[in-house]
Amino acid sequence: MVEHLVYTESVGGSNPSPPTSVGRWASLLRRMIIVGAALFAAGAPLTKASAADMSFRLATLSGGLCGSRCPQAIVANGVIEESTPDAFVAFAKSASLDGRLRGMILLNSPGGRVVAAMRLGQIFRQLHVSIAVAGYEEVGQRAGPTTGHCMSACVYLMMGGVKRVVPPDSQVGIHRMSATGYGDAQAHTSASPSIAYADENMVNSLARYAAQMGVSPTLIRTAETIAPEDIRILTAAEMRNWRLSTAHF
């Protein structure tokens, strides 16, 4: 996996994504600070996984092809929360000072808040980043990209990439938006949880967002037919047909 990612990002491969300059990152980030929840005023259904909140860090893509010129990518790992878009902006303002930083993100997430995912997806698109569904591990003297997962609301974040690659061993999964709540917060320990689903306005907003990102709204409609307790792993053919993934950066 690491050789593939380094080649397509550093050497070029097929239709490569151009490097993102430090000045361009800084300028766009200043403008994107004003992006808020007003982009999507509908409620935010939540698919919460028992994992840590999404964090961001830099990683070097060293695959033996670039030597000391190996580029750095951003590793995004964890659950998407309401604070995640602001956390990314704060991180990227600092990370943009590194001259080796490319507009590439390794994304690995079980999901999270839908509206926050769309907000961050908009930021990614404004910054012209490419996304690979992959994790990143450091074991002893070895470090590099690993198998990744992008489930539930993560898919809507993934849409923000100008190019999106899903390596063969990584997985992307969809299901219906939902939120679990209790009628009486004081009786939380004894009350039975209720499940709320996104209304038509929210579904339509998400479908429009997908179309703006160049992804077929059919993906959204399909996701809404799958029970929230289930997950449908997309095939490579489905991701190509719905324009969610591309062959190369």
The whole-number pLDDT of residue 100 equals: 62
Burial category of 67 from C-beta neighbours within 10 Å (exposed 0-12, middle 13-18, buried 19 and up): exposed
DSSP conformational letter for 217: T
What token pair was written down for 241?
């047909």
More confident residue, 102 or 243: 243
Burial category of 220 from C-beta neighbours within 10 Å (exposed 0-12, middle 13-18, buried 19 and up): buried
Instruction: Name the band, by pLDDT with cuts 50, 70 and 90, for residue 63.
Output: low
More confident residue, 69 or 154: 154
- 90-125: string of b/e by CB count within 10 Å (b at 16+)? ebbeebbeeebbbbbbbbbbbbbbbbbbbbbbbbbb
β-strand partners of 211: none
Instruction: Name the band, by pLDDT with cuts 50, 70 and 90, for residue 190.
Output: low
Q: How many helices (H) and strands (E) does the chain have?
A: 8, 11
Percent of the chain with pLDDT over 70: 65
Task: Report the pLDDT averaged over residues 219-224.
Answer: 94
Instruction: Name the band, by pLDDT with cuts 50, 70 and 90, for residue 36.
Output: very low
pLDDT per position as a tens digit, 98-126: 666 668 899 999 999 999 999 999 999 99
DSSP conformational letter for 112: B
The whole-number pLDDT of residue 177 equals: 85
Answer yes or no: is pLDDT of 24 > 90: no
pLDDT winner (highest mean) among 7-16, 151-160, 240-249: 151-160
The whole-number pLDDT of residue 95 equals: 76
Task: Report the pLDDT averaged over residues 142-164.
Answer: 92
Beta-carbon-side half-sphere exposure of residue 75 (alpha carbons within 13 Å): 19
Where are the alpha helices (H) located in 96-135, listed in sequence order?
114-126
Percent of the chain with pLDDT over 90: 49
Average pLDDT, the chain: 75
Answer yes or no: is pLDDT of 154 > 70: yes
Cα–chain-centroid distance for residue 117? 7
DSSP conformational letter for 72: E
Query: What are the chain's domains?
Result: 2-174+231-241 (3.90.226)
pTM of full prediction above 0.85? no
Answer yes or no: is pLDDT of 19 > 60: no
Whether 166 and 145 have beta carbons less than 8 Å apart is answered as: no
Calpha distance 120→87 (Å, rounded): 10
- Nearest-Å Rg of the Cα atoms of the chain is 18
Q: Note the residue count of the chain.
A: 249
Task: Report the pLDDT averaged over residues 201-211.
Answer: 92
More confident residue, 232 or 103: 232
